[in-house]
Amino acid sequence: MNKKSFLLFDRSTQFNKGLRVIAVGMALLCIAAVSAQLATPPSQPEPSTGLYKKSLVSFKSHGVAAANPLAVEAGFAMLKRGGSAVDAAIATQLVLGLVEPQSSGIGGGAFALVHEGKTKKLRAYDGRETAPGAATPSRFIGSDGLPMKFHDAAVSGRSVGTPGTVALLAAMHKKHGKLPWNALFAPAIALAEQGFPVSPRLHDVVKLDRFLKDDPAARAYFFNEKGEAWPVGYALKNPAYAKTLRAIAANGPKAFYEGELADAMVNAVRDYADVAKRGDLTQTDLANYQVIERDPICFSYRLKKLCSMPAPSSGGVAIAQMLAAVERFPLSQWGANSIDSVHVLAEAGRLAYADRAQYLADPDFIDVPKGLLDPGYMKSRGTLIDMAKSMKRAEPGTPPGVKVARAPDANAFLTGTSHISIVDKFGNAVSMTTTIEDIFGARKMVRGFLLNNELTDFSMRFEENGKPVANRVQAGKRPRSTMAPTIVYDAKGNPEIVTGSPGGSAIANYVLKTLVGMIDWKLDPQAAIDLPNFGSRNGPTELEKGTALEALKAPLEARGHTVSVADFTSGLQALQRSFDAKGKAVGWRGGADPRREGIVIGE
């Protein structure tokens, strides 16, 4: 670390003094522990590890919300040094890759919305992983002609896509960064070298995972000599990750996508005794990776302007469709946790997820109908909601502009992700959701970080009844996602809400709940996030286990719903602008999901 970089992170000493305090505090707050092994396929991308008590945080001008206290501190340190929201997002993400490796990291991909305070322009950055050049539509079809079992595909080299996170961070920094690139790596490097405390959540997910020990590098890092997960509070060091970050800090993204690191990733995906598990990622795939800057999708709801991520994400489209479908209903009168609110929002979910399965995929390969966001079409879908009974399963609609007949995608597999929401004193805002797909990705560790298994976000089947599936595997294609970084604007064109969540295909429902909570039910961000999770992905109506919504199971069944009560593990972060009685913006307030370890820090 050079002297300038170290000075920009002079709080590292303060970090280390407080590491064990943070770990012990989180352990005491943990209300419940995981009680079951990961399912196959997973019903949730990451297991529940209990609840952590959270409180609303108010601040004046700049703040960070993310999934781990150490990552939040790293991002906030950049804001304190005069950095931009993008600078803070980069520092936050690099620490998350160290302290929350099960969810995201430089071996994965990300989507980000960046609002420029000076120009009031919004940019959408697509850092999604891509399929290798050798990939074919039958990639996940076994020798028996049937789709592979999820973990047979996921825990293998063939599931690894070309990572996009490093390129995305560099692209954002080039246009929006204020601090030197190498300075943003200092917090993560310091923690990796000096050690960070294993958190309760990290301990639990390592302990439960059935595949992590199979990779020698992962086994040596995550477990002690007895093969046991490191205990909560153990000071875990990752010198390999520090070395990797030093190379990228000194030489930019080229150090990741070319040379020694690229060779190491290519060799890792091929390093399987079982030929069926060997991947085909190449140095050319890595060298040719490009971030795509896309136009965000924007829509209105209750006279507010909302913007989210376009395809290959399906999350933004789903949220737009669900809000349009329910806008005619008096949600504010019904209130949170009411049967009418749950019924209507679940039915809207069925409609949106039906369209998602039929039409959404990488727009550079598939003609995604623009009519999916046609106001008339979206509102017409809402007329299919019957207050008296559930439609049980919705059929996809026929939006204006449909040109090709396609088959619906039945792929239900989910992704492990993390979300970051940041605002700075310059009026900039970042909403970024990052992922390595399934928990711990492909369970393949390279130079201190885990590789993604993102290609299992493609459909396992490439056609149904002779019709092609939009989200089938193709060389160079980006798999469909549900990540939905979202920004809501006030009447003056300034960010009013900055939010998003991990949670795989349930992300759209998590973000929807939180938006409705703040807009319709006038809840603060923490109260909106705390609401029980619920919704439908065009299957059963899902209610979060151990919450007040369990009481709605029988009444919903009386309306024809098939109800599933289970852990519904979101990881929401939300920042919301505060206004005085005269409507003048006076600051911010923020909330973090009690289902994970995140916090909000602001000033």
The catalytic residues are 417
Number of residues assigned to the chain: 603
Element spanning 252, H or E? none
Residue 489 · residue 496 · CB < 8 Å: yes
Alpha-carbon gap, residue 541 to 201, rounded angstroms: 27
Q: Is the dihedral of CA 352, 357, 362, 366 positive or negative?
A: negative
Rounded to a whole number of angstroms, the CA Rg of the chain reads: 22
Give the ranges where 385-489 is alpha helix by DSSP (H): none
Taking residue 587's Cβ as centre, other Cβ atoms within 10 Å add up to 14
Letter string b/e over residues 60-82, b meaning 16 or more CB atoms within 10 A of that residue's CB: eebbbbbbbbbbbbbbbbbbebe
CA proximity to 478, closest of 420, 437, 515: 437
Alpha-carbon gap, residue 391 to 490, rounded angstroms: 35
CA proximity to 177, closest of 86, 110, 293, 95: 86
Q: What token pair was written down for 153? A: 């595909």
Alpha-carbon gap, residue 540 to 545, rounded angstroms: 14
Q: What is the 3-state secondary structure (H, E, C) of 481-493?
A: ECCCCEEEECCCC
Taking residue 333's Cβ as centre, other Cβ atoms within 10 Å add up to 10
Cis, bond preceding 312 (omega within 30 deg of 0): yes
- Which residue type sits at 540? P
Q: Helix, strand, or coil here: 536?
A: strand
Residue 3 · residue 186 · CB < 8 Å: no
- DSSP code, position 560: T
Q: Is the dihedral of CA 344, 349, 355, 360 positive or negative?
A: positive
Q: What token pair was written down for 292? A: 């795509």
Letter string b/e over residues 517-526, b meaning 16 or more CB atoms within 10 A of that residue's CB: bbbbbebbbb
Q: What token pair was written down for 324? A: 């349009």
CA proximity to 434, closest of 100, 75, 85, 52: 100
Give the ranges where 225-371 is alpha helix by DSSP (H): 239-251, 254-257, 260-270, 283-287, 315-326, 331-334, 339-359
Q: Residue 146: CB partners within 8 Å, gap ≥ 6? A: none
